[in-house]
Structure 1
Amino acid sequence: MTIKLLAIGKTDNKNLQSLIDEYTKRLGFYIKFSLEIIPDIKNAKNLSKKQQKQKEGELIINKLNMSDVLILLDENGKQLDSIEFSNYLQKHMNSGIKQLVLVIGGPYGFSEDVYNKSNGKISLSKMTFSHQMVRLFIIEQLYRGFTILKNEPYHHR
């Protein structure tokens, strides 16, 4: 199984990008992982929220393969602790899927088309975080999940 993280817009903060790079590198010891950035929509200020979500949704869907399992990082998704998340990853690996795709949407969330195509939703917290910080948090949690599965000391139980 491979894991791909799709995110809208680049990370502007160099310190945050450095941490994202660090955890991406660490995660690479456990699984084939990629972070793919979908460029911000041009002239978004001239679009309604619905139009922006629709355009972002088209870009997200165009990045998917037919066999991908699509999981949205969504405020209304299921909340898991780190051990539950590691078990969630293991379940997907055991199912024989080729690629798990996690998606961080744009500022207004996802279009109906993306929701309809998704196989599930996960929430990192009831709190709101910047989309750039969510990238770091989910990559760190993926890394933590794999250290849990390997019984390595990174996660203290």
Structure 2
Amino acid sequence: MKVTLIWIGKTVEPWLQAGIDEYTGRLKHYLPFEIKEIASVKNAKNLDESQLKQKEGELILSALQPGDHLVLLDENGKQPSSREFSTIIDKHQHGMVKRLVFVIGGAYGFSDAVYAAANSKMSLSRMTFSHQMVRVIFTEQLYRAMTILKGEPYHHD
């Protein structure tokens, strides 16, 4: 199974990119992992919230492949613990899923079409993080999940 993380826009801060690179490098030892960065919508400042969500939604949906299992990183999703997240990953690794896709939406969230296409929603916290920080937090949590599954000492209960 391959895990894909999709997001919109570039990672601006070098220290955030360094964190993403660190955990992406670590993940290579456990499973195929890719990041798909979707370019920001052009002329986004001229669009209202609904129009922007629609355009971003079209870009997200075009990045999907048939058979993808789509999980939206959404403030209204379930909030698994790190151990519960590792169980979710394990379940999909042993299932029929070829590509498990997590998506970080834009500033206003997801379009109705993206919500309709999703298999589930997951929240990383009840707190609000910048979309750029979520990139680092998610890659670290995926790495943590893999170390839990391998019984490695990275995670402490």
State the match for 1:38 in structure 2.
38
Q: Structure 1 residue runs of 4+, over 2 Å off?
A: none
Taking structure 2 as the reference length, what is the TM-score of the superposition? 0.99
State the match for 1:5 in structure 2.
5
State the match for 2:86 in structure 1.
86
Q: What is the rounded CA distance, in whole Å, between the counterparts of 2:80 and 2:109 in structure 1? A: 20
State the match for 2:106 in structure 1.
106
Taking structure 1 as the reference length, what is the TM-score of the superposition? 0.99
State the match for 2:156 in structure 1.
156
**Identity of counterpart residues, as a percentage?**
58
SS in 2 for 1:65: coil
SS in 2 for 1:51: helix
State the match for 1:63 in structure 2.
63
- Residues 14-62 of structure 1, C-alpha deviation per residue, up to 9 Å, x if partnerless? 0110110010000111000001111111111110100000000000000
Moved more, 56-65 or 91-100: 91-100
1:140-151 to structure 2, matched below 5 A, reads: 140-151=140-151
Q: What is the rounded CA distance, in whole Å, between the counterparts of 2:113 and 2:101 in structure 1? A: 16
Question: For residue 113 of structure 1, what is the amino acid of its counterpart?
Answer: A
Q: In the comparison of the two structures, how many residue pairs are matched?
A: 157
Q: What is the rounded CA distance, in whole Å, between the counterparts of 1:63 and 1:45 in structure 2? A: 23
1:117-132 to structure 2, matched below 5 A, reads: 117-132=117-132
The unaligned stretches of length 5 or more in structure 2 are: none
State the match for 1:22 in structure 2.
22
